[in-house]
Each structure stands twice: as structure tokens, then as C-alpha cells.
Amino acid sequence: MGLATKEKLFSKDFFITYAWLAAGCFLFALGNVLFAEPYGFAPGGTYGLSIVFHHLFGWRTEVAALSMDIPLLIVGFIFLGGKFGIKTVVCTFMIPVFMSLVHKFYGFDALLEPGISDVALLEEQLLSSIFGGIVYGVGLGMIFKSRATSGGSDIISMILHKYTHISLGTLVIIVDCLITLTTVVAFGDWRLPMYSWILIFIEGKVIDLVVDGANSHKTLMIVTDKIDEIRKVIIEEIGRGATIFHGEGGYKGEPRSVIYTIVTRRESTILRYRINKIDPGAFINVIDSKEILGNGFKPLDE
């Protein structure tokens, strides 16, 4: 969570990183103001809790969130040490500044104004949860891409992880779900957390898309007696590399060779077709690969 990476001051990487960070913080603020805050959605984190306080007590969401984030940063430094880095601190202050600017120049109304009927209101809530998830996801994805974290409730999860050894991902979900459920206690409406969960789900998918990219790769493990022919197809026709493992079949104890290769979704379809023509009896294990780093794929320095 806390990514204390450093870029050389005023280098190209420095400007690119902080441009991503600023853009991500702005989109996160925009998602709050236009889609979550007007409807009382609480998509986890200190901003989700602050939206509840905004509707209950009239507090400014960004002020309430900042008043929680600063003590959490201090507690985080005490219990976890310097895990956060300057970018997380910058992000903590940048989001409320952007929210204040959006409030000043745009106001507090939803981008999608509720209609006069209950049916219209439900439609606007659903659309806002969907598009809010997209905007939130792009913003948070850009923040993560800049090797930072938005801080807030993530720090609570990190502290609990340190002392309970429950997985960090599980704790983040638990903390965010508890915050989301506060809307039921505050407003007595079960629809609000449901809309918030839609927003959170879409947000997570969009974050993965921003951080990992749209390319989908497949890892193929191919057991075949036609090693040379299939290796030639992979290298010469598909244009990918391959690694060959030599092993032993578990049933008969006969020597077997396995080809290991990584290709795109389209290349996988072509390769499977060609393998079927060369060796219909081949055994192929196809695995979805979330991220591939190295020569021919995403550079390691990304």
C-alpha cells in the first residue's frame, strides 16, 4: 500500500509521476462531488464516511476527510514507520483542495439531476453509481500508477494487518464494507450501500485496467511429441519466445517435453489452431496472465 518510491527531483520521471498523481487526485475529487456526495453513497475510505457526515451534519466532505486523514497519517508513521512516501502526503492534501475548487466553481449538485418521480431518482442513482465507479477507478488507478496511495482508511487496514496477520486485501474489504454500511445506520436505506457496492466493484475493475492496461495475455503450457514443429510455429509464425522443459510423464514414466510460452489473446487463438493441425493429441494448459514484465511485453521500469 505505502509505496515510498523516489524520483530524481525535476527529472522527466518526476514530472510524469506527479502529473499522473495530480490528474488522479482531480478525478477522484470529481467523482466525489459529481456522483457520490449528492446521493449519499459511501464507497469506503475516509471520504465515504465524510459523505455520511456531510448529509447528517452539513459538514464539508473534504474538510471532514482531511480532519481524519491527518491523524491517520500521524498514527501510520508511528505504527508503520516511513512506508508512505511524500506522494501519499501530497495526495492527502491535494484531493481536498481539488474538491474545494470543484465545489466553488461547480457547486454541490449531482451531474445527473434527480427527476421528479421516484423511478427517475432510482435511474439517476444507478447511473451515478456506474459512472462514479468509472471516474473513481480512473482517478485511483492514476494515483496507484504514480506509485502512491490515497492514505485514509488504507492506513487502518495496514495497522490491523501488522498485528492480526489477516491478509491486507481482506482487511481493506472489511473496513470499506463497514464504512459503506454506515449509510444504513445514518439514513435507514439499504439501497445506498447497494449502490455503493456497485460503485466499488466497477472502481476496482477500472483500477486494474488503468494500472495493468487493456492487453490480456495467455500463458500456455504445451505437452506434445511434436516439439520442433510447434516451437517453429511459436518463434517464426507467432513471433514469440518459448522455453522448453524436459520431464517425465507421471502415468507411464516416459520422457515428455513441455513448451512454455506467453502470447496475446489473439495469438493464443492462432497458436491453438496451428497446434491442432500439427498434433491433435497435444495437451495444452491455458492460464490467464494478469501482468507480464520483461522483453517483448511491459518494460520492468514501468
Question: Each residue of 27-78: pLDDT tens digit?
Answer: 999 999 999 998 889 888 899 999 999 989 989 999 999 999 999 888 888 8
pLDDT digit string, tens, across residues 215-233:
678 899 999 989 999 999 9
For residue 111, which amino acid is it? L
**Alpha carbon separation from 232 to 136, 165, 280, 293, 294 (Å, rounded):** 46, 48, 17, 24, 22
Cell numbers of 138, please? 480512473
Per the rule left: phi > 0, alpha: psi between -120 and 50, beta: everything else, 276 is alpha
Counts for the chain of helices (H) and strands (E), in that order: 10, 4
Q: Which domains are seen in the chain, by residue range?
A: 12-212 (no CATH), 217-289 (3.30.70.120)
Does the predicted TM-score (pTM) go above 0.85? no
**Tell me, what's the pLDDT at 83?**
58
Measured CA to CA, the distance from residue 52 to residue 57 in angstroms comes to 8
DSSP secondary structure code for residue 36 in this structure: I
Mean of pLDDT values over 192-212: 86
Written as nine digits, the cell of 297 is 511485453
- Which letter does DSSP use for residue 32 in this model? I
Pairing of strands 283-289, 243-248: unpaired
Across residues 176-193, what is the average pLDDT?
Answer: 87
The grid coordinates of residue 236 equal 517464426
Whether the pLDDT of residue 252 is over 70: the answer is yes
Whether the CB-CB separation of 34 and 135 falls below 8 Å is answered with yes
Q: Tell me the angle at which helices 61-80 and 153-164 cross, rounded to the nearest 10 degrees.
A: 30
- Residue 276: the pLDDT is 92
CA-wise closest residue to 175 among 159, 191, 192, 195: 159
Mean pLDDT within 124-144? 90
Write phi, then psi, for 283 (nearest 5 degrees): -110, 125
Distance CA 214, CA 209 (A): 6
